[in-house]
């Protein structure tokens, strides 16, 4: 996967494993670097993408060896766009509890989507029947896009 | 790089020196096991030294929270030491910075345990 980051667009289908999560995270970091994001923003993008991949593998596909996740990376003049999709039962983002609410602050889980939203400029959910696709978008500045 | 943990005792406080990444499937279970073992041995004053933690994800944050509540419910205290800026930022974003007792000096952290 690492060799493909010299292309403006790439897509991968991967097993539902933590190894896939690590590969997707590394690829996101490489795309973010090539898109010109600064050293503070690159780890945030990589973490957001990692969280999306973890959700797909863990909560979406539940490590099912018969289900796969897809990850696509696209650099446009305006944005870095990353899509992560699973084949799970679907995710309703409105059903997720607010991890900052006092009654949830000491919960041991439930912060993944929150961190994705914190670190990306746009996060969109699409139901695939079956599965969920998350689209993560980070806007590039004119200097980053070379325009 | 997966997480590594080493344990030492200073004035009745158990210090866990952690290094590497605390993520799903890497460091998170290690912390859970280490804290559970310490409580089983009656060691409930625990200082997690995160100075060499390079990365933590939401699962890792969850494990820190779970360790904190487990120790607190057992009548002990769990504090954090030497947070990197990245980890500090994450705890602020998730509003956990004020939940944890966070120290940046080991000697004063040790003396702060009851």
In chain B, domain spans: 4-109
pLDDT (tens digit per residue) in A34-84: 999 999 999 999 999 999 999 999 999 999 999 999 999 999 999 999 999
The domain made up of B4-109 is a member of CATH 3.20.20.10: no
Full-model pTM: 0.91
Q: How many CB atoms lie within 10 A of CB B11?
A: 9
Per-residue pLDDT averaged across B56-75, rounded? 94
**Which residue numbers of B have CB closer than 8 Å to A's CBs?**
23-25, 55, 57-59, 61-63, 65-66, 68-69, 86, 90, 93-96, 99
Lowest-confidence segment of A7-11, A38-42, B86-90 by average pLDDT: A7-11
Exposure pattern of A67-99 as b/e (b: 16+ CB <10 Å)? bbbbbbbbbeeebbbbbbbbbbeebeeeeeeeb
Q: Which of B57, B61, B94 sits opposite A50 (nearest CB)?
A: B57
Name the CATH architecture for the domain at A9-145: 2-Layer Sandwich (3.30)
Q: Is the pLDDT of residue B38 over 80?
A: yes
Least CB-CB distance to A109: which of B23, B62, B93? B62
Query: How does strand B77-81 pair with strand B45-56?
Result: parallel
Q: What percentage of chain B exceeds 70 in pLDDT?
A: 96
């Amino acid at each position: 996967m690492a060799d493909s980051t010299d292309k403006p667009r790439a897509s991968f289908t991967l097993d539902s494993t933590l190894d896939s999560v690590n590969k997707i995270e590394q690829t996101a970091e490489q795309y973010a670097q090539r898109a010109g994001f600064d050293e503070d923003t690159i780890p945030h993008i990589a973490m957001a993408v990692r969280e999306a991949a973890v959700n797909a593998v863990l909560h979406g596909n539940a490590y099912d060896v018969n289900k796969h996740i897809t990850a696509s990376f696209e650099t446009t003049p305006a944005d870095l766009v990353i899509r992560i999709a699973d084949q799970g039962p679907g995710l309703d983002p409105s059903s997720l509890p607010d991890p900052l609410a006092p009654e949830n602050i000491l919960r041991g889980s439930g912060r993944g989507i929150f961190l994705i939203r914190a670190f990306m400029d746009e996060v969109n959910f699409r139901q695939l029947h079956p599965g969920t696709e998350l689209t993560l978008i980070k806007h590039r500045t004119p200097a980053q896009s070379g325009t | 790089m997966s997480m590594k943990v080493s344990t030492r005792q200073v004035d009745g406080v158990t210090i866990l020196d952690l290094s590497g990444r605390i993520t799903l499937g890497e460091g998170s279970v290690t912390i859970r096991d280490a804290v559970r073992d310490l409580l089983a041995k009656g060691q409930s004053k625990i200082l997690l030294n995160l100075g060499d933690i390079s990365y933590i994800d939401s699962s890792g944050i969850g494990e820190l929270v779970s360790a904190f509540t487990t120790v607190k419910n057992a009548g002990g205290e769990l504090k954090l030491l030497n947070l990197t800026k990245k980890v500090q930022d994450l705890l602020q974003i998730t509003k956990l910075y004020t939940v944890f007792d966070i120290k940046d000096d080991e000697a004063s952290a040790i003396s702060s345990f009851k």
